[in-house]
Structure 1
């Protein structure tokens, strides 16, 4: 291994342990790597600009803006009401309704922390009033967060599609079955929790209440239909879909539900701009770092080292999943994907893993990493919303984590789970 490669690896771990923000870490190491290679420093600026020059990345600000507008526009509350009116009378019904709302909102926001924040802020107090422990409510809000990155549209899926040069539409489809499998597992946990803990059941609201809930929330239900229907119907690309979603959510929030006032709009725009700027800054510096890493041929070296441990694809996948899950809990998802993409693609090619399956496996591992104690970011979001300690939320989280780890196993070892739906649009 070259001196530059050693500096990059050691420097990455040291700077992250010292608490330097990931974007500054990657940018600094990229500059040091170029300096050690006597490369022209202007290359750094070229690589930074190249990181923003991919057309598909335009989908990110659109989906981020759509998510914020929908959250402020009252869509999450209406989705919860629809789900609660349908299944709230069942054992664990309100918890199941939370899972359903998280599934729908995940299909809107495309972000794990955003889903956790939206569902947690709406449902935590309601669940507690109905007999659920506050820690369980916080854990449930944390657990539904990864659904936002599994079920399309998913911002990490967009980024991986750009990095791996794979179809974003197929990657979106690859996440649907794993996302629904996780949601089904959460429903089972909701039922068992309510039965074991003796959570009081609410009365049947009747078909009239269901009809009213659907009528009040019909525009919220149509949001994923408009976005995903347009993509798979060939009406517009994922990038165009993000802008359509933002415009649609604006019209619904301002003119139909009238919960997004003109006074709130500048704050929503500022929030989305701040989030988009952070994401794009990380991507830019990660692209520059990845260029230096590729020049040092680190991906092929790491792949060779990994394959030297064993040539058994089952064991290699197990090692990869453990590595991705651990990294997802300590490193920003987008940064980790950019840093590791060339290595993961090389290993995937060596063991004959389908690129779409690999992309789904990577994104889902990182999504689950965001809820894994003690450093998962969504865990901090839920704790801050509920005012609970991290360890309290984590203690109630383990059944949900078992479900999510099981989904990772399905994605890794049962190819049709991620490849069947994408095969329908070949």
Structure 2
């Protein structure tokens, strides 16, 4: 291994272990590699600009802003009320409400942490008040938040589409069946938990309450139809859909008098802070990726896997295991953008369909957002519930197992993820 390759791999790993932010770690090792290779340092600046100029990249801050506006405008509360009137009287009703509301909100925000915060902030206290164990309530909210990257539109699929140069619309469709399967698995867990622990059922809603909730929640329910219908109807691209989501959320919030225009600066600032963390990693990773390609690290690693493992089945198993372990201790976005070239080389070597491979990667990323010890959604749930990491980790493992089962189906049955692809 050359000195540059050692710096790119060992240097980056060392900085991450020392808790250096990922964007800074990538920039430092890239600059160090340029110095060692005697390449003009201006190369890093050029690649920073190139890495931030993608039109598709605009979808990330726009979807995050749309989610913030909808949450501030009370649309998440409306979704919860609609779901509550329909299923709260069932066994595990309130927990099921959490999953259903998160599933619809995921189709609005595209973000796992945003979905966890918007729905968990409402439902965790409500479930505890209704007799659910607090750790279980928080773990269900965290697990339901994982639907954010899988149910389209999805920020994670946008990122992978940029990294892998694949159709973002096709990638969106590949996440629908895995996402719905996880939701069904979580609903089953809610039912079994409530039955086992004798959680009291809620009073059924009257037809008048159902009708009122539907009327109040109609614009929140129509949002996914508007966004996804526009994308797949050919009206606008995923990036334009993100912009339309912001406009839709703003108009509905202001017209419905649930959003104060004076709150917009604070809402925009929150979305900018979150977006900056994501886009900075993507921008600095372009130069890093060029050096990785120059050193043939991705190609050599793919060749080593092909020689060592031999079959696609074993290679995908090893990749899933490595990805799951990495995602539990490393930022998921950093994994996709830093390891993207290597992952793509492996997929190409074993003949994996690129859209199917995207579904595998994003399903893995989604699980990582809920998996101990550093899943983003896990920390959002801890902040809302006030529980320790140990209690959350203990409560969430049944849900993680359900997600891993769905990951195996996604990995080894291509048609599972590709069922909705256009012929």
TM superposition score category, shorter chain reference: over 0.9
The alpha carbon displacement at 1:118 in A equals 1.1
Distance in 1, Cα, partners of 2:351 & 2:288: 27
Give SS of 2:153's match.
Answer: coil
Distance in 2, Cα, partners of 1:66 & 1:326: 32
The alignment's TM-score, normalised by the length of structure 2, stands at: 0.98
Equivalent residue for 1:37?
Answer: 37
CA offset digits 1:306-347 (Å, max 9, x no partner): 222211211111100011112222222222111111111111
CA offset digits 1:148-199 (Å, max 9, x no partner): 0000111110111111111100000000010000000011001101110000
Distance in 1, Cα, partners of 2:102 & 2:170: 22
Compute the RMSD of aligned alpha carbons. 1.0
Give SS of 1:360's match.
Answer: helix
Equivalent residue for 2:94?
Answer: 94
Equivalent residue for 2:405?
Answer: 406
Distance in 2, Cα, partners of 1:334 & 1:383: 21
Give SS of 1:149's match.
Answer: coil
Q: Where do 5+ consecutive residues of structure 2 fail to align?
A: none
Task: Assess if the C-alpha contact under 8 Å between 1:189 and 1:400 holds in 2.
Answer: yes
Equivalent residue for 2:330?
Answer: 331
Give SS of 1:370's match.
Answer: helix
Q: How does 1:9-158 map to 2 (within 5 A)?
A: 9-158=9-158
Task: Assess if the C-alpha contact under 8 Å between 1:156 and 1:333 holds in 2.
Answer: no
Distance in 1, Cα, partners of 2:377 & 2:85: 28
CA offset digits 1:5-58 (Å, max 9, x no partner): 112111111101111000000001111111111111111101100101111111
CA offset digits 1:330-385 (Å, max 9, x no partner): 22222211111111111111111110010111111011111111222211111011
Tell me, yes or no, if structure 1 residue 229 matches structure 2 residue 229: yes
The alignment's TM-score, normalised by the length of structure 1, stands at: 0.98
Equivalent residue for 1:383?
Answer: 382
Distance in 1, Cα, partners of 2:188 & 2:329: 29
The alpha carbon displacement at 1:281 in A equals 1.1
Give SS of 1:28's match.
Answer: helix
Higher deviation after alignment, 305-314 or 112-121: 305-314
Tell me, yes or no, if structure 1 residue 396 matches structure 2 residue 395: yes
Give SS of 1:202's match.
Answer: coil
Task: Assess if the C-alpha contact under 8 Å between 1:99 and 1:186 holds in 2.
Answer: yes
Task: Assess if the C-alpha contact under 8 Å between 2:382 and 2:392 holds in 1.
Answer: yes
Equivalent residue for 1:371?
Answer: 370
Distance in 1, Cα, partners of 2:153 & 2:171: 10
Distance in 2, Cα, partners of 1:163 & 1:380: 27
Tell me, yes or no, if structure 1 residue 264 matches structure 2 residue 267: no
**Aligned residue-pair number:** 423
Equivalent residue for 2:298?
Answer: 299
Task: Assess if the C-alpha contact under 8 Å between 2:105 and 2:115 holds in 1.
Answer: yes
Give SS of 1:259's match.
Answer: coil
Tell me, yes or no, if structure 1 residue 2 matches structure 2 residue 2: yes
Q: Where do 5+ consecutive residues of structure 1 fail to align?
A: none
Equivalent residue for 2:214?
Answer: 214
